[in-house]
């Protein structure tokens, strides 16, 4: 069983191949995110394949590390059948969550894999500190969404988040 860190920050590391994944695990990552061969913003990076997903997830879970699969691009209508197969593969392969950019996929993914958590990608460009609050109000009760805030943000006392000025 994976440990729940509660309110502690999660150390999340990218990994596109077995060497990078092992390095992340050995160096203390709580979770690893990676793309598969298609439909992700890491398309030009090394990626695992769909057939490798069960092996990747077994390794991560054997080391008490979560694995999040990136589906973090905007999906065009002609890509919807591929996105459906992608989500099915993530659920069947034991992924701990799927990371999305396209909010239009939320209900589709939930219909395919109702227990698969959905995480919001930094590609969503939630640059206003009030947007996550608004999104939380819109989310259906069944949806479990974590948001990755853009890297140019700062946390203020009391947990308030603001965009850093340039």
**Where do the structural domains in the chain lie, given as residue ranges?**
12-163
pLDDT exceeds cutoff 60 at 43: yes
User: Do 93 and 119 contact (CB within 8 A), yes or no?
Assistant: no
Nearest to 40 by CA among 16, 24, 13: 16
Q: Report the CATH superfamily, name and number, of domain 12-163.
A: Glycosidases (3.20.20.80)
User: Residue 52 gets which letter from DSSP?
Assistant: G
Name the packing angle between helices 53-62 and 80-92 (round to 10°).
40
Query: Which of helix, strand or coil describes residue 119?
Result: strand
| 104-151: pLDDT as tens digits | 888 888 888 988 988 877 777 666 666 666 666 655 544 454 555 555
Q: Are 83 and 89 in contact (CB under 8 A)?
A: no
pLDDT of residue 165: 39
Sheet holding 97-100, edge to edge: 12-14, 31-35, 66-71, 97-100, 118-120, 145-147
Answer whether 25's CB lies under 8 Å from 65's CB. Answer: yes
End-to-end CA distance of the chain: 43
Per-residue CA distances from 161 to 37, 55, 118 (Å): 34, 37, 22
The first and second tokens of residue 126, run together, are 């939630």
Q: How confident is the model at residue 164 (pLDDT cuts 50, 70, 90)?
A: very low
């Amino acid at each position: 069983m994976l440990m729940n860190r509660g309110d502690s920050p999660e150390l999340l590391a990218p990994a596109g191949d077995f060497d990078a994944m092992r390095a992340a695990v050995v160096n203390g990552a709580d979770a690893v995110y990676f793309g598969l061969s298609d439909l992700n913003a890491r398309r030009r990076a090394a990626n695992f394949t769909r057939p490798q997903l069960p092996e990747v997830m077994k390794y991560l879970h054997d080391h008490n590390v979560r694995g999040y699969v990136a589906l973090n691009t905007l999906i065009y209508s002609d890509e919807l059948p591929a996105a459906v197969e992608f989500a099915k593969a993530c659920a069947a392969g034991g992924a701990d969550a799927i990371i999305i950019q396209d909010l239009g996929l939320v209900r589709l993914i939930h219909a395919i894999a109702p227990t698969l958590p959905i995480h919001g990608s930094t590609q969503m460009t939630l640059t206003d500190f009030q947007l996550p609050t608004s999104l939380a109000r819109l989310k259906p009760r069944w949806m479990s969404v974590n948001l990755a805030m853009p890297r140019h943000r700062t946390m203020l006392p009391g947990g308030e988040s603001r965009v850093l000025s340039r």
